[in-house]
Structure 1
Amino acid sequence: MREIKFQAWDLDAEQMYNWESIKQLFHEHLAHPRVKVREYTGLKDVNGNDIYEGDIIDYKETCIGGAGNIKGVVEYSEGSFWVVDKANEDANLLFSETAELTIVGNVYENPELMGAGE
């Protein structure tokens, strides 16, 4: 079973808060219009960093006949986490057994990496 934890991006302070700092007042973060809550996927990248919803990752397929390499945003859809390449309208299931995953940023702190973010 994967560990359940979150991060929260404060749009006004432009600061990321970790799970330890938000879990006491989690319900307030969920309801706040200027805070974007990010769910942990249960996976880590090649450097051991936790992968969260909204992270921008390099996704390199390692199995024969795989989808290849894409850079995309981690999104939750249809009950699963996906790596979505918005520029090429492509998506791959976020699955660490067949891919090498590297976090390069996130849509809040590094929107220039994908032309994403708010």
Structure 2
Amino acid sequence: MREIKFQAWDLDAEQMYNWESIRQLFHEHLDHPRVKVRQYTGLKDINGREIYKGDVYHQGDPNILYVVEYKGASFVGKQIGSSSYAGLEHWKGRIEVIGDVYRNPELLEAAE
């Protein structure tokens, strides 16, 4: 069974809070309009980094970037600038997370 964890991005403080920081007040983070909650996919990238919804990654070619989304009851990678999707579980041995959509929005722009 996959471990269920979350992170929360605070839009005002521009800071990511980990699961240990938010679990005591998790219900407040879910309802707060200026906090974006990110769910852990249960997978780690090639460097051992946990992969969360909203993470930006590549699969070996740094010119082709993907963003982690939740679609159809599973986590997938949507190729930025395309309508193509990649299954995270299938490609997990090649995924390298290079940022996320909150702390690194320039990655989305650069890949378009």
Same fold (TM over 0.5): yes
Amino acid aligned to 2:73:
G
Q: Which amino acid is 2:26 matched to?
A: F
Contact 2:65 2:80 in 1 (8 A): no
Question: Structure 1 residue 103 and structure 2 residue 97: aligned?
Answer: yes
The equivalent of 2:80 in structure 1 is 86
- The answer (yes or no) to whether the contact 1:8–1:17 under 8 Å persists in 2 is yes
Q: Which has the higher helix share?
A: 2
After the TM superposition, which segments of 4 or more aligned residues of structure 1 sit over 6 Å from their partners? none
Moved more, 96-105 or 12-21: 96-105
Aligned to 1:43: 43
SS at match of 2:89: coil
Q: What fraction of aligned residue pairs are identical, expressed as a percent?
A: 60
Change (3 A) 1:104 1:38: same
Q: Is the 8 A contact 1:43 1:96 kept in 2?
A: no
Q: Is the 8 A contact 1:58 1:104 kept in 2?
A: yes
Measure, in 2, the Cα distance between the counterparts of 1:98 and 1:41. Answer: 11
Q: What SS does the aligned partner of 1:100 have? A: coil
**1:15 has 2:9 as partner:** no
RMSD, aligned α-carbons: 2.0
SS at match of 2:42: strand
More strand by share: 1
Separation of aligned partners in 2, 1:25 and 1:5? 14
Number of matched pairs: 109
TM (normalized to structure 1)? 0.85
Structure 1 residues 37 and 98, CA, compared in 2 at 3 Å: closer, same or farther?
closer
Q: Secondary structure at the match of 1:9?
A: strand
| Paired residues of 1:53 and 1:75 also in contact (CA < 8 A) | yes
Work out the CA distance in 1 between the residues paired with 2:68 and 2:14: 20
Deviation of 1:70 (Å):
3.7
